[in-house]
Amino acid sequence: MTEDKSPRNGRALKEQGEHRSREKGQHAKGSCEDEQCENSRSDEKRHEDEDRDKQQHDKEHTAQTHVQQGLDERGEEKEEQEDQPAPALGEPFVEQSAKEESASSMGRSLKEQNASSKEGSGVTQNGHLEPVEDPTEEQIAAWEEQFFGGDEEEEREYLEQKERSRKRWKKTISLLISFALLANVLAFWPMLYNSAAVRFVIQSRELLKNEEIAQYRESIVVISSINGRKGTGFLISESGLIATNHHVIDGMQEIFVTFADGPAREAEVVKSDASVDLALVQLKEGESERPVLPLNSSSGPWQPGDPVYVIGNPLFFNFIANEGTIFDEIPVRGLDVPVLALQAPIYRGNSGSPVINMDGEVIAIVYATTQIDSDGESIRVGLAVPVEHLLSLLEE
């Protein structure tokens, strides 16, 4: 019989072969159900896991080695991939390129960090540690100059500028104080060194050579207070009674009385009359052994031009004796009685000074100065309250 080689016979042979293969597979699957087949499959799985772990370990080791040597994560495979033809249409080319770029960037970053850590810690490129040498004194000095030199220079400049500013302020304050003192001196210069003041000081020195006038001077006192006010008074009784002006002691909280040859003593007001500007002050310690100035109780006649002595504490001077003449009796504002006008050197501080005639008696008490007309000319005169008003105050 002739062999049939038609396509139908070929398909039949192919189907028979597939049927045999399926039978062999089923037979093999059935044979794996026993215990020996299970052990074989476990061994195969364990070998597959070990191979997979080994491949992963080798891959990690290769990546770390490439990073330390400055290569990207894929190493030389990148060059091989560049030589290969472009991927076919539809393959994930863009996603693969992004992964490669990210891995390359990570490799460069790790390389820079590794190089920086090696440079600062003395690690060589081979991974060995090398001893770091101690810096020299020149290097330390250079570092100090670099990091601290600027701050010290700025602080020194600030301190120098502050010192210069402080010196300028001191100089300015000193100049201001000097100008203020100079202004005060210039303000009082006319009172201290005018020709009239110089004359009455010289005249007082000459008059005090007279024993009677020097004795009158022992009865004169300086009346003062703690606020710096000053006036004149004179002793009129051995019990320590002193006559002065009302405006001298008005407003004084504490009164101090000083004689030419003694310390300051406390006193108190006994009587005062503002209408005639007179007051009586009593020493707290009582009696005084100094001479007393008598009062002209007879109110004897006086004439214009009669000579008189005036002893007091004018300006910045104390216990100054001067002489003058009676101009006349005139009315004034502020007082209820006429007063004597004196042609004599009377100044601030003479208030309360006694006006003494040639008999050594007090005929008036100085209280002010004013300007009056005489023969068409304006002259400066002293004003004094007649002594009879003081006697009336003593009788009250």
- 99 domain residue, yes or no: no
- Top mean pLDDT of 68-82, 108-122, 153-167, 189-203 is at 153-167
Strands (E) in 213-254, as ranges, are: 220-224, 230-235, 241-244
Render pLDDT for 34-80 as a digit per residue (tens, 0 to 9). Answer: 555 555 566 667 777 777 777 777 766 665 665 455 544 444 554 55
For 23, the enclosing helix (H) or strand (E) is helix 7-31
Render pLDDT for 81-100 as a digit per residue (tens, 0 to 9). Answer: 555 554 444 444 444 455 45
- 338 domain residue, yes or no: yes
Residue 123 reports pLDDT greater than 90: no
Q: What is the CATH number of the domain that holds 243?
A: 2.40.10.120
b/e map 276-306, b = 16+ CB within 10 Å: bbbbbbbbeeeebebeebebbeeeeebeeee
354: its two tokens: 């006694």
Q: Looking at the whole model, is its pTM more than 0.85?
A: no
- 223 domain residue, yes or no: yes
Confidence of residue 148 (pLDDT cuts 50, 70, 90): low
- 88 domain residue, yes or no: no
Render pLDDT for 384-394 as a digit per residue (tens, 0 to 9). Answer: 999 999 999 99
CA distances from 196 to 158, 202, 259, 295, 348 (A): 59, 10, 26, 29, 14
- 87 domain residue, yes or no: no
Of 107, 104, 123, residue with least CA distance to 115: 123
What is the span of the domain harbouring residue 349? 199-395
- 66 domain residue, yes or no: no
Render pLDDT for 181-206 as a digit per residue (tens, 0 to 9). Answer: 888 766 766 555 556 667 888 889 99
Please give the tally of structural domains in the chain: 1
- 58 domain residue, yes or no: no
CA distances from 367 to 138, 163, 190 (A): 90, 57, 22
- 53 domain residue, yes or no: no
Of 231, 236, 227, residue with least CA distance to 246: 231
139: its two tokens: 């290097």
How would you classify residue 119: left for phi > 0, otherwise alpha for psi between -120 and 50, otherwise beta?
alpha
